[in-house]
Amino acid sequence: MPLLEILEPGFSYEQQVKQAIEKLKDTEQEIVEIPTEKPARKRIELAVREILSAVGENPEREGLLETPERVAKMYEEILSSQKLTQFEEYKLFKIEKTDQDQTILIKDIPFYSMCEHHMLPFFGKANVAYIPKDGNIIGLSKIPRLVNYVSHKLSVQENITRDIAEILNDILEPKGVAVVVEARHMCVEMRGVKKGNSQTKTSFFMGEFEESRETRLEFLESLN
């Protein structure tokens, strides 16, 4: 009998495994490993079943039978950066010296993330700019990838804004970096004050964007 088929909800994953092993010992059945099953996904499925029961639902009713599996797969997708520790999807390029002082801006990059306080979605757009130094630039498609990398985990908008700027600054060591993020938060619109359609804007500036008011204002005006 596969071990994962006899795990019981209502206990921690470690407790469930221990209980399941004891059951198998009592019946003298062999414990077999299921290589295609991911323990983390199974733990999420069991937790979702427990949540459904706790809110008064029946996890066995027809409409909810596959819900735990769907939710587990969803979390794997939207929290895909949760265990990653380094952004590696980039390649640096060189530009001509005459172009080194131009500001490179990528506007309205869509993103979504999950609030670490309530585990509800927040989503919006990121605007990212930098001024190259020594001719070093990054492929334009890599900045949206960086936004995805930073946002696909439990976080808050302030951290996403800062992390985009700091990682880009570490990669390029440019003359300056500017990031502005605008987002709607479901933890504000669905609960608490329930203020629908409200927008939250955060910004983070480094280098010339932080030091020069003129450079900063030029960037902010370009977003309008």
Name all domains of the chain by residue range, CATH numbers in brackets: 40-79 (1.10.286.10), 92-223 (3.30.1130.10)
Identify which of 20, 41, 42 has the alpha carbon closest to the alpha carbon of residue 31: 20
Name the catalytic one among 5, 8, 89, 116.
116
Asked whether 132 and 61 are in contact (CB, 8 A), the reply is no
200 bridge partner residues: 183
Residue 157's pLDDT is what? 98
Which of these is catalytic: 57, 100, 166, 187? 187
With H, G, I as helix, E, B as strand and everything else as coil, classify residue 60. coil
Residue among 117, 173, 199, 211 flagged as catalytic: 117
Burial class for 150, CB neighbours closer than 10 Å (0-12, 13-18, 19+): buried
Q: What pLDDT was estimated at residue 164?
A: 97
The pTM of this model reads 0.78
115 catalytically annotated = yes
Tell me which of 118, 166, 182, 210 is the catalytic residue: 118
Active site residue 118: yes
Query: Pick from 13, 10, 15: which is nearest to 51 by CA?
Result: 10
Q: Is the pLDDT of residue 168 over 80?
A: yes
Per the listing, tokens 């001509």 go with 96
The least confident of 13-27, 163-177, 183-197 is: 13-27
Catalytic residue among 16, 45, 152, 185: 185
Q: Which of 13-17, 46-50, 132-136, 211-215 has the lowest mean pLDDT?
A: 13-17
The question of whether 152 is a catalytic residue gets the answer no
Are 115 and 151 spatial neighbours (Cβ–Cβ below 8 Å)?
no
Options 16, 45, 115, 152, the catalytic residue:
115
pLDDT of residue 192: 80
The predicted structure's pLDDT at residue 93 = 76
Higher pLDDT, 42 or 23: 42
**Which of the residues 16, 45, 152, 157 is marked catalytic?**
157
